[in-house]
Structure 1
Amino acid sequence: MENVTPVKTPGLPRIWTKIIVGVVALILFLGPLRPWYIVPPGHKGVVIQLGAVKGEFSEGIHFRIPLVQKIVDVNVQIQKSETESVAASKDLQMVTSKIALNYHVNPLAVAEVFQKIGLAYEQKIIDPAVQEAMKAITAKYTAEELITKRQQVALEIQQLLTTRLKKSDIVVDAFSIVNFQFSDEFNKAIEAKQTAEQLALKAQRDLQRVKIEAEQKVAAAKAEAEALKIQKEQVTADLIKLREIEVQKQAVEKWDGKLPYYNGGAVPFINIGR
Structure 2
Amino acid sequence: MKAPRIPPVPRGSGRIAQVLLGAAGAAYLAYNGMYNVQGGQKAVIFSRYSGVGKQVYGEGTHICVPWLHRPQIFDVRTRPKKMRSISGTKDLQMVDIEMRVLYKPRTTMLPLIWSRFGTDYDERILPSIISETLKAAIAQFDAAQLITKREEVSKLVRRNLKERAGRDFFIEIEDVAITHLGFGREYTKAIEDKQVAQQEAERAKFLVQRALQEKKAMVIQAQGEARSAELIGNAMQRDASYLELKRLDAAKEIATNVARSNNSVYLNSESLLLNLLDDSTETLAPKK
Q: TM-score range by the shorter chain?
A: 0.7 to 0.9
Instruction: Output the amino acid matched with 2:44.
Output: V
CA distance in 2, matches of 1:208, 1:60: 80
1:164 deviation in Å? Answer: 1.8
SS in 1 for 2:67: coil
| Residue 150 of structure 2 corresponds to residue 150 of structure 1 | yes
Q: Provide the rounded CA distance (Å) in 2 between the counterparts of 1:76 and 1:175.
A: 18
Partner of 1:203: 204
Q: 1:52 to 1:226 in 2, by over 3 A?
A: same
User: Which runs of 4 or more aligned residues in structure 1 lie more than 6 Å from their structure 2 counterparts after TM superposition?
Assistant: 17-20
**TM-score when scaled to structure 2?**
0.70
Q: Give the whole-Å Cα distance in 2 for the aligned partners of 1:60 and 1:93.
A: 53
Matched residues in 2 for 1:26 and 1:123: separation? 40
Relative to the length of structure 1, the TM-score reads: 0.73
Residue number in structure 1 paired with 2:216:
215
1:32-43 correspondence to structure 2 within 5 Å: 34-43=32-41
What is the deviation of 1:147?
Answer: 2.5
1:13 maps to none
Three-state SS of the structure 1 residue aligned to 2:133 is helix
Give the counterpart of 1:48 among 14, 36, 46.
46
> Does 1:118 find its partner at 2:88?
no
Once residues 53 and 142 of structure 2 are traced to their aligned partners in structure 1, the CA distance between those partners, rounded to angstroms, is 48
Aligned residue pair count: 231
- Match of residue 25 from structure 1: 24
Gap runs ≥5 in structure 2: 1-15, 244-278
Give me the CA root mean square deviation. 3.0
Tell me, what secondary structure is at the counterpart of 1:91? coil
| Preserved CA contact (<8 Å) 2:52 2:111 | no
SS at match of 1:205: helix
Cα distance, 1:210 vs. partner?
1.8
Indicate if the aligned counterparts of 1:48 and 1:54 stay in contact, CA closer than 8 A: no
Q: 2 CA distance for matches of 1:149 and 1:197?
A: 23
Structure whose CA Rg is larger: 1
Change (3 A) 1:25 1:100: same
Say whether the 8 Å CA contact 1:53–1:115 is kept in structure 2.
no
Indicate if the aligned counterparts of 1:48 and 1:55 stay in contact, CA closer than 8 A.
Answer: no
Q: Deviations over 1:205-262 (max 9, x none)?
A: 22222222222222222222232333344454x548xx9xx768449xxxxxxxxxxx
The answer as to whether partners of 1:46 and 1:55 remain within 8 angstroms in 2 is: yes
- The whole-number CA distance in structure 1 between the counterparts of 2:87 and 2:138 is 7
Amino acid of the structure 2 residue aligned with 1:218: V
TM-superposed CA distance for 1:176, in Å, is 1.7
Contact 1:81 1:100 in 2 (8 A): yes
